[in-house]
Structure formats: C-alpha cells, structure tokens
Structure 1
Amino acid sequence: MDPYKVLGVTPETSDDDVKRAYRELARKYHPDNYVNNPLADLAEARMKEINEAYDQIMSQRSGRAGGASQQQGYGGAQGGASANPIYSQIRAAINAGNLAMAEEMLQRCPQRDAEWYFLMGSVYYRKGWFDEAGRAYEQACQMDASNAEYRNALNMLNMSGGYGGYRPMATMSACDCCTQLMCLSCCCNCCGNGC
C-alpha cells in the first residue's frame, strides 16, 4: 500500500503539509470519535493504517532505511508489541476499555520505565484526564526519546489541544448533594427574592 495515497499526499508534498494531512485524518478517525459506534472497528483499522503510513513517510524522509517497524497507536496503546508480558496485558485491558484494571496493574508494577509512563498516560487519556496524560507522555518521551509511539501520542495530544481536559471530582454522596441543595435554597431565600 502506498503511504502517500493513504494520507492523500504526494512525494513532493512538504513535511508540514504531510503533518497537516496526518493530523486531519487522525482527528477524523480517532477511536474516541467512534465509541459505542458500529464503525469503531473500521475507524481503528483506518487509524492504524494512517499511523503506519505517516511513520513510513517520515522514516523515509529522515533517511532511515525501511518503514515503520512497529504498529503505532495514539493515546490508547493500540499498537506496539511489548517485550514485557505484564505490559501486553495492560495494553489489552486498555484496548478493551477496562481502565480500572489497567491502572491497578500499572500501580502494582515495581518498575517505572518509559513504557510504564506511556501506558499510564494512555489510561489517563482514555479517562479524559489530559493534563495527567500529557505529563506521563512527556516523561515517557524523556526516558526513551527514540520511541515513535510515545512521540506520536504526545504530539497528537498537543495537536488536539487536549491539555486542561476533564478531571472528575472526588466521589460525592447523596448527603453531600442534599447539603449543597439546602445551602443553595438558604442563599436564594436569604437574598430576599426567594426561589
């Protein structure tokens, strides 16, 4: 398969335009856009194809021989084979959407290497905790600057403007909710107009 056709560019296209085409396609086919959608599998396959094409083009342009040596994933640990069997299980849990199990397994890992930070960033990303994901991806990139999977995840997060994302509050009980409603009612009544 021609990687230029996958991205809709030509060999004469500038690096910036190749990156721009890649970003547009990545936004369009990102798996998070297809959650609970019957097209999710097709979007994931297309995203993998887009990542591989981009990696191949950039590898060729940087003078490295061959193409992408591993499947790349963005923010979800979709690609990349791990030598560590625990990390392979964590990747499978993330891909299955079992983020609680993946996070628990990561917390039990005694080592904190680059892949650990990448996978933790992927868990955070899937949760919508973009600030934490960004910090974890940055740590992974600092620890292993040559890993394209880690760089792609961080770049995609930065390009999507993901920082400052949703972070859920601590759990709230029904009593907390009632207390807040009573306080709100008192405030409205104390201001003179009532509710």
Structure 2
Amino acid sequence: MDPYKVLGVTPQTSDDDVKRAYRELARKYHPDNYINNPLADLAETRMKEINEAYDMIMNERSGKTAGASQQGSAGSYGSYGSQQGAYSGPNASVYSQVRQAVNQGNLGLAESLLQRVSTRDAEWFYLMGTVYYRKGWYDEAGRAYTQACQMDPNNAEYRTALNNLNLSGGYGGYRPMAQASMCDCCVQMACLNCCMNACCGGGC
C-alpha cells in the first residue's frame, strides 16, 4: 500500500496538508455516516486504510520505524459497534448495550447505562467520550478520550477517536444553556441590565 496514494498526497506535501487530506477523507468515510447503510462495511475498510496510511506517513516523518507504524495502526477506527466483542471485562454486557444505544442515536439511554457503572475503566471513558462527542460537547469528549488513552495506551480505537477529534478541531463545542449555572445566569442578567441602563440613559 502506498500511503501517499491512499491520502491523495505526495512525499513533498507538507504535514499540514497531509493532515488536511486525512481530515477530509476521515469525515467522508466516518462510520457515523454509514449507520444502517449497505456501504457500511466498505466505508469501514476504507477508513482503516486511511488511518493506516496516515499513521505510516506521520511515523515515517517523525523517524519511527515501519514496524512501529504498523503496530500503531492495528485495529484502526471502525464503527462504534464494530468492536463490541473486543472488550471482555466485567461490564462487557453493559458496554455492548451502550454501543448499541449510541449507534441507534439513543444518547440518553447510553449515558444512563454508563452512569450505573461503578468501575470507571478505559472503556467507560471511551464510551462516555463518544456520548459527549455525539452531543457536540467536544471539550468533555476530549478529556474522556484522553483519559481512556492514558488508561489503555495500546488501544487503537481510543487513540484514533482522540486523533480524529483533535484533527477536526472540535474543541470548544456548543453546550446547551441548561448546563450553565445559576451564577452564570445572574452575571449575564446583571451585565444585560447595565447595558440597558447605559443605553436608555444615553437617549437611544
């Protein structure tokens, strides 16, 4: 496999442009776009090729060996449900239900199931990060993915999820107003009141 051809770039392409090409392809073939789609398997295969190609190029440019690149690419990112059998810990059944709920778009159920789990291992943080990501809470997703990677640094699924989030520039995502504290609301109201007073006092 020629990683440059897979990403549609050349050895002379800058690192930033390689990342840009990877990001565009990752968005196009992201598993979330192919849920309940007959092309899901094809998209997953393509996504693995894209991940492997990106890892090979970046590892080569950072001076890592080809073997390290291949090892880092093993088990590349697929759909959230594709690796349900990979986890065999005490909470495997619950985590399987969480992945299914996420794939079905039932984030409320997924989060509720996770909150019932007392032992928060790497898989827990990864799945919670996925729930946050689907909600658009990218800061929280980044922290959860980072924790998962720290707890299980050899898990390619966790690492790729974090890489995809970083590449997409997702940090600072929208949070609903319901998450704001009463203190925040009071401060905002006070500022608004001052602005209104100043405006009215100025004769506008």
TM-score by length of 2: 0.66
2: CA distance, partners of 1:115 / 1:126: 17
- 1:111-130 map, 5 Å: 111-130=119-138
2: CA distance, partners of 1:125 / 1:100: 13
- 1:10-159 map, 5 Å: 21-30=21-30, 34=33, 41=37, 44-45=40-41, 47-57=43-53, 58=55, 61-62=66-67, 70=75, 72-73=77-78, 77-81=80-84, 82-83=87-88, 84-159=92-167
2: CA distance, partners of 1:107 / 1:149: 22
Q: Which residue of 1 aligns with 2:59?
A: none
**Identical positions, percent:** 47
Task: Give the paired residue count.
Answer: 179
Alignment gaps of 5+ in structure 2: 57-64
8 A Cα contact 2:125 2:148, kept in partner:
yes
Using a 3 Å threshold, how does the CA distance of structure 1 residues 193 and 142 change in structure 2: closer, same or farther? same
2: CA distance, partners of 1:157 / 1:88: 23
1: CA distance, partners of 2:2 / 2:95: 29
Name the aligned partner's letter for residue 82 of structure 2: G
Once the two structures are TM-superposed, the CA of residue 142 in structure 1 deviates from its matched residue by 0.2
2: CA distance, partners of 1:3 / 1:98: 39
2: CA distance, partners of 1:43 / 1:188: 59
RMSD, aligned α-carbons: 4.2
8 A Cα contact 1:102 1:123, kept in partner:
yes
Once the two structures are TM-superposed, the CA of residue 21 in structure 1 deviates from its matched residue by 3.9
1: CA distance, partners of 2:30 / 2:93: 26
1: CA distance, partners of 2:40 / 2:95: 20
The secondary structure found in structure 1 opposite 2:177 is coil
2: CA distance, partners of 1:4 / 1:70: 17
Once the two structures are TM-superposed, the CA of residue 20 in structure 1 deviates from its matched residue by 5.2
The secondary structure found in structure 2 opposite 1:146 is coil
Alignment gaps of 5+ in structure 1: none
Once the two structures are TM-superposed, the CA of residue 77 in structure 1 deviates from its matched residue by 2.4
